[in-house]
Amino acid sequence: MQPKKMSKKSCPVYAATLLRPVSWEVSWKRSLVFCCSAVSLLGIAAEAPVDPAQNPAPPELIPSSPQELPLTETEKARKRMLEAVSALKNEPGAAPEVSLPQEAPAEVAPVVQATLLESLPRPRAREALSTGETLIDGVGGIAGNLISAPSFQTNQVVPKGFRFGKIGLRTSLGIGITSSNTIRPEPSADLRETYGTLTPNISAGFGDENAGRYLTLSSITGISYTTDRFRNVDEDLDLRGNYTFNRLRLEAGFSYSRLSGIDRDIGSQVTRDFFTGTGTVSYFYSPKTTMALELSVPIRRFSGETSSSGFTVTPSVDYKFSPRTTFGLEVAVGTLDAGGDTQVFERPAFRMSYNFTDRLSLRGSLGMEHRDSDDRSTNTPVFELGAIWRVRESTQISLTAERRVSISALQSAVNYTSTSVQLGLSQRLGSRFRGNAAIAYEDAVYDGDSGGAQDGRHDRLLTGQAGLAYILTPHVSIMLNGAAIDNRSNQQPFRTYQGSLQSNIAF
């Protein structure tokens, strides 16, 4: 059957030929050359840099990120076809991704996350211990106390714990054995003992840190025992609250520490209780200026020794000079009463914090303390220094140094000036090992004009500690720790060697 012929007037090609009287073959070639040239020019224009300010794209065509380029309907269809073909061929990594509905995360306040997944700062009551003494005594009489060491909790895979609405709770239990040997100049005073430890730990948080309204609680209890008796019960308790409205922020805290290990000032093991209550009012005068007033009430109780108590008022002002630098001034004024001797002190200081990089930060303060007692007056330079260097994700180095004036618990009306420094290292070794090492030195000089037995006393305390933790599961870890303590004193010398093996179970 012959196809039906079309008339010349009804043929579109014929009509186009009348408008442009050239041969069909020449027109086709010209069209092909024109299309190829246009494609080349478009490719060059796409590769050339374009100034967004001069050639802004319409808002609906601007991608939210470099990876999210807008696709046309044709490109979307082609992508779906290629994914389907790749899935049929079972090519590795080519299977199409299927978007499944995910469960929305629970609305938990950021402060709960930080409280449960990161270690809390040491209790305020532990400020009674100098930088050099922090490695000597921990909860349960364990030097350094690996269970509460920040480096292990931070690097360890920590379970989520329990959540009740906006309340977060995490618990853990430590079980271990410790052996220590204390050597003195008189052999009859040597002490060697081995005891078990049971250490429950509770951390809780409630509130919203972004809104400035939250409450945190941390408690570590150390129960040490031998085969026939309970030895001691130690405690680290820290409760803190924060409430912010408009430009005003109110903070309150209570801290309690009960320790039973060796004390450098006493020169032997002694049970002591430290209480500290604090209240702070801060006013944000401007985005760069903050004024604060803090009231602190420290109480220190020693079993059979001289105890002390008092209060301190500290007004301060801080100025944020740049995003990395903050300067501040403070003046601490307070009183202390120890065994009937009342002391009044004033301590003005200049403080500063500076973040060199995201991995290196520095803080410090420098001041002068004037102290008056019943029969003498002293002026002592004091300072505090702290630096943290995160060498890499698995390595952190810390440096702490300070100089302070403290009251001796061995004899009333006797002060000593302590200068100490501590260098610490925490290291993650592979996916399951965590290492921790620290060394500290303290130089303590006692008053020489009190007329007591402590006149002329001079202590040089050197402490070294190293630990290794093995993470069995996200819930179970085993920790081995060793410490050596040497107090070279002209009145209270001693040496202590300690080793401990602990397991920690987190819930």
pLDDT at position 161 is: 67
pLDDT at position 86 is: 54
- CA gap 28, 17 in Å, rounded: 12
Structure tokens at 300: 């220190």
Residues 6 or more apart in contact with residue 166 via CB below 8 angstroms? 107, 108, 109, 112, 206, 207, 208
Helix H or strand E encompassing 281 = strand 272-284
- CA gap 415, 382 in Å, rounded: 14
Q: Collapsing DSSP states into helix, strand and coil, what is residue 484?
A: strand
Buried b (16+ CB within 10 A) or exposed e, 217-232: bbbbbbbbeeeeeebb
- CA gap 116, 171 in Å, rounded: 9
Q: Rounded to whole angstroms, what are the CA distances from 343 to 269, 272, 309, 409?
A: 27, 21, 11, 15
pLDDT at position 65 is: 38
Q: Is 299 left (phi over 0), alpha (psi -120 to 50) or beta?
A: beta
- Of 22, 496, 43, the C-alpha closest to 263 is 496
Residue given tokens 């109780």 in the structure block: 301
pLDDT at position 410 is: 85
Q: How many Cα atoms sit within 13 Å of 297 on the Cβ side?
A: 6
- CA gap 187, 172 in Å, rounded: 40
Q: What is the dihedral of CA 203, 208, 210, 212, to 10 degrees?
A: -90
Residue 94 phi, psi (nearest 5) = -105, 0
pLDDT at position 414 is: 86
Residue given tokens 């402490």 in the structure block: 463
Residues 6 or more apart in contact with residue 476 via CB below 8 angstroms? 503, 504, 505, 506
Asked if 311 and 299 count as a contact pair (C-beta separation under 8 A), the reply is no
pLDDT at position 80 is: 63
Q: How many CB atoms lie within 10 A of CB 203?
A: 25
- CA gap 5, 402 in Å, rounded: 106
pLDDT at position 9 is: 45
Asked if 231 and 225 count as a contact pair (C-beta separation under 8 A), the reply is yes
pLDDT at position 58 is: 40
Q: How many Cα atoms sit within 13 Å of 364 on the Cβ side?
A: 17
Residues 6 or more apart in contact with residue 169 via CB below 8 angstroms? 116, 161, 162, 163, 202, 203, 204
Q: How many Cα atoms sit within 13 Å of 7 on the Cβ side?
A: 2
Query: What is the mean pLDDT, run by run of 10 residues, along the chain of 507 residues?
Result: 47 42 46 48 43 42 40 60 53 39 34 32 68 70 48 41 76 90 81 89 82 86 85 88 91 91 86 93 94 95 89 96 94 90 93 92 95 86 94 91 91 88 91 91 82 78 92 90 92 90 88
Per CATH, the number for 124-506 is: 2.40.170
- CA gap 321, 324 in Å, rounded: 8
Distance from CA of residue 188 to its chain's centroid? 44
pLDDT at position 306 is: 87
317: β partners: 291, 329
Q: How many CB atoms lie within 10 A of CB 497?
A: 16
